């Protein structure tokens, strides 16, 4: 008989490896895409251990129209030998042609860039969520933080009021 999976069981084929919280703070996300990654064996093993950093990462087109993920840090696999990968190498993103054309048109607008938002496994395959983003100015960041703080205070007040009523 097959064992039922509970919500607490971690499926190694479906889990988030890295999130880029800084991107959500520094940029306004306009559009999101899911892309596959071309990885070597030691990179996949290192990702399965849960090690990666998207903080400095970005994506860019090359002359042939392919999209590449750059400056994403996947550390070397500890048990790797001479076949180990370099930690910050360029990695090709796998998207279909229509998506690539759509992204390239969105990037033509001044101030737009492509940032990685999260790196995860989906059905055993490494995926990266990329976002078309526009940089926030300092006052935009402060306004966003103020809105979050106001929402938290409102929730706190509602919870306090509900406790007083009962």
Instruction: Decide if 74 contacts 46 (C-beta within 8 A).
Output: yes
Per-residue model confidence (pLDDT) at position 86: 67
Residue 48, CB-side half-sphere exposure with 13 Å CA sphere: 15
Instruction: Decide if 43 contacts 92 (C-beta within 8 A).
Output: no
Q: Mind giving me the DSSP string for 107-164?
A: HTSTTEEEEEEEEEEETTEEEEEEEEEEEPPHHHHHHHHHHHHHHHHHHHHHHHHHHH
**Angle CA 101–102–104, to nearest 5:** 65
**SS3 state of residue 166:** coil
Residue 5, number of CB atoms within 10 A of its CB: 9
The tens place of each residue's pLDDT in the chain, 166 residues long, gives: 455 555 555 666 778 888 888 888 788 889 999 999 988 888 888 888 887 888 888 888 999 889 998 888 888 877 766 777 666 788 899 999 999 999 999 988 888 889 999 999 888 888 999 999 888 777 777 888 888 888 898 888 888 878 777 6
Report d(CA 119, CA 54) in Å as an integer: 8
């Amino acid at each position: 008989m097959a064992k039922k999976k509970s919500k607490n069981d971690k499926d190694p084929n479906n889990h988030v490896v890295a999130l880029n919280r800084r991107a959500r703070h520094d940029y306004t996300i306009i559009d999101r895409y899911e892309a596959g990654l071309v990885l070597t064996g030691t990179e996949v093993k290192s990702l399965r251990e849960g090690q990666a950093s998207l903080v400095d990462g970005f994506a860019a087109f090359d002359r042939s129209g392919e999209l590449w993920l750059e400056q994403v840090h996947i550390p070397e696999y500890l048990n790797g030998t001479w076949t180990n990968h370099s930690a910050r190498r360029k990695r090709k993103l796998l998207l279909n042609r229509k998506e690539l054309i759509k992204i390239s048109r969105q990037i033509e607008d001044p101030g737009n860039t492509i940032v990685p938002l999260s790196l995860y496994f989906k059905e055993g395959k490494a995926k990266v969520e990329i976002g078309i983003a526009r940089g926030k100015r300092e006052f935009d960041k402060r306004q966003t933080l103020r809105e979050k703080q106001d929402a938290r205070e409102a929730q706190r007040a509602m919870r306090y009021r509900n406790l007083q009523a009962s």
